Structure 1
Amino acid sequence: MARADNTYSRVVAWMKIILPLAALGLLSTLFLLSRTIDPTQSVPIAQIDIELRAQEMGATRPSFAGVTQQGDEILFTALSARPERDAPETLLADTVTARLALVAGTVVDITSARAEMNQNDLTATLDGQVNIITSTGYVVDTDRLNTRLDAVYAESPGPVTAVGAIGTIDAGRMLLHNNSESRAAELLFTEGVKLIYLPDNARE
Structure 2
Amino acid sequence: MARRDNLHSRVVAWMKIILPLAALGILSTLFLISNTFDPNEALPMVDIDLQQRAQDQGATNATFAGVTQAGHQVTVQTVRSRPSPEDSRLFLAEDVTAAFLLNSGNSVNITSDRGEMNQHRNSASLSGNVHIDTSTGYVLTTELLTANFDELYAESPGPVEGTAPAGDLTAGRMVLRNNAETDQAHLLFTNGVKLIYQPQISEE
Secondary structure, in 3 states, of the residue corresponding to 2:71?
coil
Q: Does 1:79 align with 2:70?
A: no
Q: Greater share of helix residues, 1 or 2?
A: 1
Distance 1:132 1:196, change over 3 A: same
1:117 matches 2:110: no
Cα distance, 1:151 vs structure 2: 2.3
Q: Which whole-Å deviations, capped at 9, do the CAs of 1:141-181 have from their partners, x for residues lacking one?
A: 00000101222111100000021221110100111111122
Shift of 1:117: 1.2
Change (3 A) 1:69 1:14: closer
CA distance in 2, matches of 1:85, 1:50: 13
Deviations 1:177-200 (A, max 9, x none): 111222211111111011111112
Q: In 1, are the aligned partners of 2:55 and 2:83 still within 8 Å (CA)?
A: no
| Contact 1:126 1:145 (8 Å CA) reproduced | yes
Distance 1:111 1:49 in 2: 33
What do the CA deviations read for 1:42-97 (whole angstroms, capped 9, x no partner)? Answer: xxxx9x96652234432222222111222110111111212222311111111111
2:94 partner SS: strand
- Change in CA separation of 1:49 and 1:108 when aligned onto 2, cut-off 3 Å: farther
In structure 2, stretches of 5+ residues that fail to align are 1-9, 35-45
Amino acid at match of 2:120: N
Write the distance in 2 (CA, Å) between the matches of 1:184 and 1:55.
41
Structure 1: which amino acid aligns with 2:119? Q
Q: Which residue number in structure 1 is paired with residue 190 of structure 2?
A: 190
Distance 1:67 1:143 in 2: 26
Deviation at 1:12, TM superposition (A): 7.8
Percent pairwise identity: 43
Cα gap change, 1:49 to 1:167, in 2 (>3 Å)? farther
Equivalent residue, structure 2, for 1:105 = 105
Matched, 1:128 2:134: no
* RMSD of equivalent CA atoms: 3.1
Deviation at 1:99, TM superposition (A): 0.3
1:175 aligns to what? 175
Contact 1:129/1:142, CA 8 A, preserved across alignment: yes
Compute the displacement of 1:135 (Å): 1.0
Alpha-carbon distance, 1:119 to partner: 2.1
SS of residue matched to 2:201: helix
Closer, same or farther in 2 for the Cα pair 1:23/1:99, shift >3 Å?
same
Cα offset, 1:14, TM superposition: 7.0
Q: Which residue of 2 aligns with 1:154?
A: 154
SS in 2 for 1:99: strand
Is the CA contact 2:122–2:150 (under 8 Å) kept in the aligned structure 1?
Answer: yes
* Residue type of the alignment partner of 1:184: Q
> 1:18 Cα deviation (Å)?
5.3
Report the TM-score, using the length of structure 2 for normalisation.
0.75
Larger radius of gyration, structure 1 or 2?
2
Q: Does structure 2 retain, via aligned residues, the 8 Å contact 1:74–1:150? A: no
CA distance in 2, matches of 1:100, 1:58: 25
